[in-house]
Amino acid sequence: MRNPVLLLYFWSVYCCFPAGSLTTLRPQGSLRDEHHEPTKVPDPALAKPSVIFNIRTSKDPEHEGCNISLGNDQYLEDCGFNMTAKTFFVFHGWTMSGILETWLYKLVSALKTREKDANVVVVDWLPLAHRLYVDAVNHSQMVGQRVAELLNWLQEKEEFSLGNVHLIGYSLGAHVAGFVGNFVKGKVGRISGLDPAGPMFEGVDIDRRLSPDDADFVDVLHTYTATFGLSVGIQMPVGHIDVYPNNGDYQPGCGLNDVLGSIAYGTITEALECEHERAVHLFVDSLVNQDQPSFAFQCTDSNRFKKGLCLSCRKNRCNRIGYNAKKMRKKRNTKMYLKTRAGMPFRVYHYQMKVHIFSYKGTGDIQPTFYITLYGSNADSQNMPLEVVEKIKLNATNTFLVHTEEDLGDLLKIRFTWQDISHSWYNLWNEFRSYLSQPSSSSKELNIRRVRVKSGETQKKMTFCAPDTKKTSISPGQELWFHKCRDGWRVKNETRVPSSPFVELA
């Protein structure tokens, strides 16, 4: 996808081909439909093989692998195809380079390392993918049919099981994998969609894109769902579980947080590719760093997750991501979220912070800029800003999400700092607005008695209290310390701040 006019091209796709406008993506019936047979799609590339099945017999990217073909048993034997082992099919997407990109070899190597006896088949459809994006989309159904025909032939072998088949597709290749699941006789075990393509698939019917019906278990990673009002990766949930790392848009280390800087320095194309391809590297990470799994948490929307309201693992509300994801029975389109680091291993540690903030002296709209530092038995965190999704509520319990890149161990104490200097125009405006809304006699002073913490990874709950219950006030430029006082949410027999008209919520 290295092209300086990538965005303009995708924009033309959106303008000229609205979602659902193509009628050739997939026939209304499927091979699983007992009343309808799929319409055969004519092959536009009869002069040369348009789909090649290449078994990767080595982790070495320079190794050419071994090609198999439908109906040829000798090729299966020569290539060492193991009928009883797991079988992975890897699908690339639309390409402007016309070559297999480096991410594919990294994924193949990770699969061969994790599952040494497995068959790893690269579905090379470059002659059909190295075209205009619209044409590649229209050819994707035919590629799915070819792979389904191969799987139907393999099912004629006594020891081969479709339940052992795992299809892994990137971008447009994710929808190709979905087409395979639609056309094959029976049901493949699993499909993993790595940032499935959005243009011409967003909002269309389930029989014309990847969907939960295409496999026994469909898990999806969304990493590039919105940039400049344009989504290269599909935004809508299309699997049994749909994971949105870092809200599914700006990925750490990719540089798109600084859009103007990326444009000014000519790195915008690399940043776009980094966002889209991050799904692949998260999946690779799950294969090679299984001892450091990344956990995602079920949530109805990204704002609730960013508030720290969705760190529960009860009733399968959390799951490992990538290869280690566990099937969630009788569920579909479950949206899950997590934070990640900028590179491998991507795992971070999530914490929910519940803070009841009192305002005794002023009734104005005070919006403090809080920073927090966590001190643990293994390590200490950096001084981190508390992200405010909406606004801080006074005389109420506020919930925040905090994440650290290091395993801090058991948390021992917490430091709150009220930043005195505004670092952005947004904060300056909040400060100015707060100043105008406050009575002239009021002072900026808030009170915090305790902080309640829940670890997303361990599900452990902790409570941290101010050492002196009479010294709980904080003003701009000051800090408050809280020490671990009791495990769990409840703190009994604790002296409350005198003359407080408010009761802290449980």
Six token digits for residue 344? 């491998």
Please give the C-alpha separations between residue 112 and each of 58, 87, 194, 262, in angstroms, as whole numbers. 8, 11, 19, 36
- Asked if residues 193 and 238 have their Cβ atoms less than 8 Å apart, the reply is yes
Measure the CA dihedral 470/472/378/282, to 10°.
150
Max CA pair span of the chain:
90
The secondary structure element, H or E, covering residue 268 is helix 268-288
The set of residues, in sequence order, having a beta carbon less than 8 Å from that of 210 and lying 6+ positions away, is 169, 174, 175, 177, 178, 191, 193, 196, 201, 218, 220, 238, 239
Q: How far apart are CA 102 and CA 204, in angstroms?
A: 31
Please give the C-alpha separations between residue 192 and each of 170, 222, 232, 239, 277, in angstroms, as whole numbers. 9, 11, 18, 9, 14
Q: How far apart are CA 1 and CA 172, in angstroms?
A: 12
- Cite the active site residues: 171, 195, 276
